[in-house]
A and B are shown apart, each in its own frame.
Chain A
Amino acid sequence: MRLPRRSIGWWAALGHRISGLALAIFLPLHFLALGLALEGAASLDGFLRFAELPLVKVAELGLVMLLSIHLVFGLRVLAIELLPWPTRDGLRLRLVYAGIAAMLVVGIAFGVGIA
């Protein structure tokens, strides 16, 4: 049995969690790719040329977005937990919108860079 109407806090928490999971999967792979530099520039270059592929660029954009999502929703959590509540509703629960806006700005900056 699930709640039919999810609170905005639910969506923020879900976004935070999904982006965190994705980053936890990505991070070891990212470290492995950088470890290629151990074998010298040629190896890393080979990998980076692979990174020129459009599909990979889309994936990179996705990862930057995920990092931004996780960051802004994390900031929201810190605000809720550490700052005192001004009203019963805790206006900070609605920081979600500011978070999404900030995340989009970063994503667009990156996207413009790639294009």
Chain B
Amino acid sequence: MAGATLEVRIWRGGDEGAFCTYEVPARANQTVLDVVTEVQRGFEPSLAYRFSCRVGVCGTCAMTVNGTPRWTCRTHVKRVAADGRLTIEPLRNMKRVKDLTCDMDAFFDKWTRVGVFEGTATRHDPPAAVEPGTPERQAVDAAVQCINCAVCHAACDVVAWDQEYLGPAALNRAWTLVNDVRVADRRGVTLRAMGAGGCHACHSHGACMEHCPVGLSPTASIAGLKRTALGVLLKGR
């Protein structure tokens, strides 16, 4: 398709700003990250954006593409812009810093607030023997591969509506800690996950699960947390 071009609208500025439109050649094999890179190198040296591995394993390049939060290095232009038009913005639900970058502090703060991994063993103890087939370990394995890309956080409507809500990533992480037999204070994680801004604010829309590039299901993890919380209420454990 020689001579075809893409019409690319890119957000410039912080929370206040505007879209700038660029014309970029359409190529046979082209990801959205390729397009952003071409704009920055060819037309707009001051354009700010993030990427790292550019091969779909780190999650750094996550942005909003035609309204949908996704990894730009894993998004072929043909898939999302059949009509040749792209609109690229930073991820939703986070304060905009400059152009396509946003401030992820609040996201990481919620992530660590619900719990960080702290075990009971020391370096002098033998490695923990964790049975892989138990329901608890299977629950952890199904949810543990999260790399904090914040796509689920951007997709979640409750995060948009409720500043206090911890969000799907933090709660998914809490679920992996609650089910990890090596964690010292599993009860503490449970209590924080079911407190203010916790799992009960989730209304099971499922947007997090639908958008997760790694194929995780925070919706399932949060449902698990709700059941665990009921256990705390009924049995006090």
Q: Are A and B in direct contact (Cβ within 8 Å)? A: yes
Taken together as a complex, chains A and B put the C-alpha atoms of A4 and B81 apart, in Å, by 14
Contact (A1, B220) CB under 8 Å given A9-B207, A10-B207: no
B95 → A minimal CB distance (Å): 13
Contact (A88, B142) CB under 8 Å given A3-B68, A4-B68, A7-B210: yes
Give every chain B residue within 8 A of A1 (Cβ-Cβ). 64, 67, 89, 92
Tell whether, in the assembled complex, residue A82 and residue B89 are in contact, meaning their CB atoms are under 8 Å apart. Answer: no
* A85 interface residue (CB < 8 Å to B): yes
Give every chain B residue within 8 A of A77 (Cβ-Cβ). 203-204
Of all chain B residues, the one with the shortest Cβ separation from A76 is B204
Contact (A10, B142) CB under 8 Å given A1-B64, A1-B89: no
B contact residues vs A (CB 8 Å cutoff): 64, 66-68, 89, 92, 142, 155, 157, 203-207, 209-210, 215-217, 219-220, 223, 226-227
Tell whether, in the assembled complex, residue B67 and residue A85 are in contact, meaning their CB atoms are under 8 Å apart. Answer: no
B85 → A minimal CB distance (Å): 13
Give every chain B residue within 8 A of A39 (Cβ-Cβ). none
Taken together as a complex, chains A and B put the C-alpha atoms of A102 and B25 apart, in Å, by 52
> A13 is contacted by which of B205, B215, B220, B223 (Cβ under 8 Å)?
B205
Give every chain B residue within 8 A of A2 (Cβ-Cβ). 67
Tell whether, in the assembled complex, residue B227 and residue A82 are in contact, meaning their CB atoms are under 8 Å apart. Answer: yes
> B206 is contacted by which of A4, A5, A17, A93 (Cβ under 8 Å)?
A93
Tell whether, in the assembled complex, residue B203 and residue A13 are in contact, meaning their CB atoms are under 8 Å apart. Answer: yes
Of all chain A residues, the one with the shortest Cβ separation from B93 is A1
> 10 A–B contact pairs at CB < 8 A?
A1-B64, A3-B157, A5-B68, A10-B157, A13-B203, A17-B203, A81-B227, A88-B217, A88-B220, A90-B217
Tell whether, in the assembled complex, residue A13 and residue B204 are in contact, meaning their CB atoms are under 8 Å apart. Answer: yes
Taken together as a complex, chains A and B put the C-alpha atoms of A4 and B142 apart, in Å, by 28
Contact (A7, B227) CB under 8 Å given A2-B67, A88-B142: no
Taken together as a complex, chains A and B put the C-alpha atoms of A88 and B215 apart, in Å, by 8
A96 → B minimal CB distance (Å): 11
* A89 interface residue (CB < 8 Å to B): yes
